[in-house]
Amino acid sequence: MTTSAALLESFQIIATPGRIGFVALGVLIGLIIGVVPGTGGITGMALTFPFAMTMDPVAGIGMIIGILASSSISDTIPAVLFGIPGSNSSQATILDGHPMARRGEAAKALGAAFFSSLIGGVFAAVILTLSIGIARPLIMNFQSPELFMMAILGMSMLAILSGTRPLKALVSAGLGIMLSMIGLDSFTGTVRWTGGSLYLYDGLPITIVALGIFAVPEIMYMMVKDSSVSDPNMDTGGGFIEGMREALRERWLVIRTAVVGTIIGVIPGLGGSVTDWIAYAHARQTVPGASETFGKGDIRGVIGVDSATNAKDGGALLTTLLFGVPASAAMALLLGLFLVYRIEPGPSMVADNLPVTYAIVWTLLLAQIFGFIFACVMVHPLAKITLIPPNVFAPAILVIIAFAVFQNSYTAGDLVALLAVSLLGWVMKWYGYARPPLVLAFVLAPLLERWFFISFSVHGWAWTLRPIVVVVGLLTVLGVVSGLRTTVKGRRRALETEPAPSESATQRSEDR
Amino acid sequence: MIRRRFAVASYGIVFSTITLVAVAYAWYLGFDFPQRTRVFPIYAGGLTFVLVFAQWAVDVRWFVAAEGAKRYESLDLGVESEVRDDPRVNQRVVISLGAVVAMIGLSIAVGLSVAAPIFMLVYMIAVSDVRPWIAVAITVVVWFVMFYVLEGMLGLRMPPGLYLQWHPFR
């Protein structure tokens, strides 16, 4: 069967009102779930899984992919409006999205985010279509040494994210690494740094670390500041179209970060937690004047991140469909659903089931478009939320966060851990410790440790000479040197232009 | 003002000192782990200890320097100066910290179904300027979201209390 014939047949498979309706239903569920801090698409996928199993396969897969795609769009909403990541993949959106909301440009930030998400998502779907036949040899070459080097590459982003306070950023990253090592070492069965607590045997959940380091300190800060997220005199609802125009103007940034997101999505194990940071670091490295404006409400920071986070789903779907290797936890669930329907991912998806494969790609494309349209309809009422005084909505958000973190292990330990991490996050915010490096290090350190020991056990030190390892290693060195140069330049410029002490302090604090 | 500046600088030292002690203790414990398990804790822990020690030394230098208080304004702090220098900031920090601790503590003790309305009503009426009926309305909406959307529709589980497992619909 030719590709064009398969594409046509796949379109006929998906183009029935019932199946499109289930994609739309999944998109709606995903949008709602994405707004709830700390839950993310995987929660929605897990909850609807039992229903999807009983449905027609195309409709069931459509609903699940709808949830996956749209939760990546709506998790931007709490990140921009409240400075709270809706999921792990929207943490970097906060850095520029939330300062924009505080300037009264919430709708503009969301417009840019949604539109760049759409472009990123569509781009990834197109790449998925084109690369179905050619990606296999490359992916099959990725083993533990290559994965280890990819994690090292991710860790090198710390050099870019440290801003003008490299020591505090490195302390923050060190704490992140140490926090990630709490719990049972799965290789040796040894318990590390749990203090005898049974709860900590499984380690600290990423949801709790993300919410405690970013969300709760921001809410507490709003309570301390006691003024609405946006100035009430500013027009919060305006600028949505302007935001989309900005995304269009920055089309090359959108495309570049979509490529970054797709590649990260393809690589198993990296997942959503690092996509946003790598995309943000890439945008900060490549956009002119970023060292002065990023972190202070530069719309390009939002555009770069959201394009990549939506594009990663297309990349992740590639490895799941073609190799049966789930690139993330969400993809593992999707893989389970395929197996329930007796669809066996692997080379047969290209050889025997090409129309089904393309139908799944169409579904992803459709979900991206639906997600964009629905999110656009909801954005204006949501942007008005930033005008409400924080002491009115802060208690409600705290309650929802407590509810969300309890879903980790259903024990009081979740709440105690949230409290402890929140206090750490609060002190770090108050004393100017960069928090993104902690979360990035927390996510990557366990992967580093695991892949290092597997690489060493299998290959000895010979793994360091593998071609992809060498190439990624060189890229890492280049990234670190470039990041350090940016940091040194930024510090030098700050020293040269340092005005009165009070002005300088304000400027630095805004750099958070 | 000078006293306040010294106070803020000293809180920074308290944090870096606690971090230094905690990291040093964790690093020390790392040496007792079995051979393979201790590689990362020892190397990463050692590196973190050096970094935290350097930060602690920087903080101490700030604190003991003769012009430390004058240079407080240029300390690398993560909050806006108008918030930091607000005379009521300490009071607000205590209230916000107390609110978070109280809400989580209450949720652990009596469950979120009871803790949520108590916390929300008390906080909104005592701290924010909203009228009581608005506070009640917001509480009811949040309750609705908790029971009907999160628990009922999405099937998420409500955190029960250690001493009270009350649920209005069971």
DSSP string, B15-26: HHHHHHHHHHHH
Q: Do A223 and B159 touch (CB under 8 A)?
A: no
Q: Is the pLDDT higher at A235 or at A138?
A: A138
pLDDT category at A12 given cuts 50, 70, 90 is confident
Element (H, E) at B68: none
What distance, in Å, lies between the first and last C-alpha atoms of chain B? 56
Q: Is the pLDDT higher at A501 or at B124?
A: B124
Distance from CA of B20 to the nearest CA of A (A): 10
Taking the Cβ of residue A252 and every Cβ of chain B, the question of whether any pair is shorter than 8 Å is answered with no
pLDDT at A508: 39
| Residue in B4, B24, B5, B14 with CA at minimum distance from that of residue B60 | B14
Taking the Cβ of residue A4 and every Cβ of chain B, the question of whether any pair is shorter than 8 Å is answered with no
pLDDT at A34: 76
Task: Indicate if the pLDDT at residue A512 is higher than 50.
Answer: no
- A419/A95 Cα distance (integer angstroms): 23
Calculate what percentage of chain A has a pLDDT beyond 70: 81
Nearest-by-Cβ selection for A167 from B41, B58, B142: B58
Quick one: CA dihedral A166, A168, A173, A178, positive or negative? positive
The segments of chain B whose pLDDT lies below 50 read: 1, 70, 72-74
Q: How many CA atoms are closer than 13 Å to the CA of A14, on its beta-carbon side? A: 25
**CB < 8 Å from B in window 86-125 of A:** none
Q: Which amino acid is at A194?
A: T
Distance from CA of A400 to the nearest CA of B (A): 8
Task: Indicate if the pLDDT at residue A493 is higher than 80.
Answer: no
| pLDDT (tens digit per residue) in A263-302 | 888 776 565 567 888 888 888 888 888 778 888 888 898 9
Q: Do B99 and A190 touch (CB under 8 A)?
A: no
| pLDDT (tens digit per residue) in B119-150 | 999 999 888 778 889 899 999 999 888 888 77
B-chain CB neighbours of A402 within 8 Å are 103-104, 107, 112, 116, 159
Chain B residue with the nearest C-alpha to that of A415: B104
Q: Do A399 and B116 touch (CB under 8 A)?
A: yes
Name the β-bridge partners of A184: A191
As given in the structure block, the two tokens for residue B54 are: 């350097």
Q: Is the pLDDT higher at A507 or at A149?
A: A149
Tell me which of B48, B131, B141 to substitute to probe the interface with A (most A C-beta atoms closer than 10 Å).
Answer: B48
- B163/A431 Cα distance (integer angstroms): 37
| Over residues A327-345, mean pLDDT | 76
Q: Do B79 and A430 touch (CB under 8 A)?
A: yes
pLDDT at B151: 83
Tell me which of A165, A171, A181, A193 to substitute to probe the interface with B (most B C-beta atoms closer than 10 Å).
Answer: A171
Chain A residue with the nearest C-alpha to that of B81: A506
| pLDDT (tens digit per residue) in A441-475 | 887 788 788 888 889 888 888 888 998 889 888 98
pLDDT category at A135 given cuts 50, 70, 90 is low
**CB < 8 Å from B in window 33-72 of A:** 33, 36, 43-44, 47
Interface confidence, given as ipTM, is 0.90
Q: What angle do CA A472, A475, A477 make, to 5 degrees?
A: 110
Tell me which of A495, A503, A509 to substitute to probe the interface with B (most B C-beta atoms closer than 10 Å).
Answer: A509
Chain B residue with the nearest C-alpha to that of A187: B37
As given in the structure block, the two tokens for residue A218 are: 């921001």
pLDDT at A501: 41
Taking the Cβ of residue A370 and every Cβ of chain B, the question of whether any pair is shorter than 8 Å is answered with no
DSSP letter, residue A90: G
Pick from A195-204, A225-234, A336-345, A499-508 the range whose average pLDDT is largest: A195-204
| Residue in A265, A378, A381, A256 with CA at minimum distance from that of residue A314 | A265
Chain A residue with the nearest C-alpha to that of B142: A396
pLDDT at A490: 63
A-chain CB neighbours of B92 within 8 Å are 223-224, 226
The SS3 call for residue A190 is strand
pLDDT category at A387 given cuts 50, 70, 90 is low
- A419/B100 Cα distance (integer angstroms): 8
Task: Indicate if the pLDDT at residue A163 is higher than 70.
Answer: no
Q: What is the 3-state secondary structure (H, E, C) of A336-390?
A: HHHHHCCCCCCCHHHHCCHHHHHHHHHHHHHHHHHHHHHHHHHHHHHHHHHHCCH
Element (H, E) at B120: helix B112-126
**CB < 8 Å from B in window 422-441 of A:** 422-423, 426-433
Task: Indicate if the pLDDT at residue A11 is higher than 80.
Answer: yes
As given in the structure block, the two tokens for residue B78 are: 């993560």
Element (H, E) at B147: none
pLDDT category at A137 given cuts 50, 70, 90 is low
Task: Indicate if the pLDDT at residue A94 is higher than 70.
Answer: yes
Contact A144, A457 (CB under 8 A): no
Q: Is the pLDDT higher at B2 or at A303?
A: A303
A-chain CB neighbours of B119 within 8 Å are 395, 398-399
pLDDT at A121: 87
Task: Indicate if the pLDDT at residue A217 is higher than 80.
Answer: yes
pLDDT, mean over chain A: 80
pLDDT category at A160 given cuts 50, 70, 90 is low
pLDDT category at A511 given cuts 50, 70, 90 is very low
Task: Indicate if the pLDDT at residue A68 is higher than 50.
Answer: yes
Q: Do A178 and B71 touch (CB under 8 A)?
A: no
The model's pTM is 0.74
- A113/A308 Cα distance (integer angstroms): 11
Tell me which of B73, B104, B112 to substitute to probe the interface with A (most A C-beta atoms closer than 10 Å).
Answer: B104
